[in-house]
Structure 1
Amino acid sequence: MGTGKVETDVELKASAEKFHEVFCGRPHHISNVSPDKIQGVELHDGEWGKEGSIICWSYVHDGEAKIAKEKVEAIDPKNNSITFRVIEGDLLKEYKSFIVKIDVTPKGEGSVAHWTLEYEKLKDDVPHPETLLGFCSEVSKELDNHLTSTQA
């Protein structure tokens, strides 16, 4: 079946370190920032901010409540990068494998979050996850607004 990759950049006012730190060490706070999109994030195994930890996201995508259980595959604090591999949940009904990577690079006074979704479809007619990429972009913007408005 088809493997693929979709990517997007999100311009942020927050620093790369601040943005990365939330996704890495405090992803459960994102549900406070985007409650309409992220209902909750639970730690199932390991520790927040540690490779090998298992995190379960409850989210609403395309109007449906969904779950994604992810393993933290890699964390690179120097490059503000984190990689999640989906190991259970709704995405695996359509995709054989699904990896989410977030790289945050400093830019001027803010930063740029680069999202990469890599996947292998179970069937050829499964759509590319562009709407999920848009969802990630919207959550990034909401988190950025939260991080920059509370810096005052």
Structure 2
Amino acid sequence: MNIEINILLVDDVEHTRELLRSILLSCINDQKININANFFHSKTGLNIPQRITDDKINLVYLDIELPTTTGLTILKDVRQSHPDLMVVMVSGESSTENVTNSIKMGANGFIVKPFNSDRVIDSLKNYIKKVYKI
């Protein structure tokens, strides 16, 4: 089976996006199935629902703290336009309020910075299980 995944990384810090991308690529390379991942980046969070449509995004990693808006606001917009899309929230602030609000608003997971590779890998595996039933 050949799986094509378009992944959008939304974070205002380039290093964070690259670290997340690196962890995901490492996980993809370790899989026993053929996964081709295309990565898309946003540092502002602007027009994310439109980017999801335009770039045919399958999976989003979304930071809560962004310079122009919040990840929770974006999550709300994404849920209205793409209710079944898998969105994993990412934040350096793992307060109970952030985690609870993210899940209540429809996030499929929450990963705390600095990244725990296992959590990132689990989120990708959850996406594969959900979509491809593998």
TM-score in terms of structure 2 length: 0.30
Higher radius of gyration, 1 or 2: 1
Q: Whose helix fraction is larger, Structure 1's or Structure 2's?
A: 2
Please give the TM-score of this superposition, normalised by the length of structure 1: 0.28
Q: Which has the higher contact order (CA 8 A, sep 6+)?
A: 1
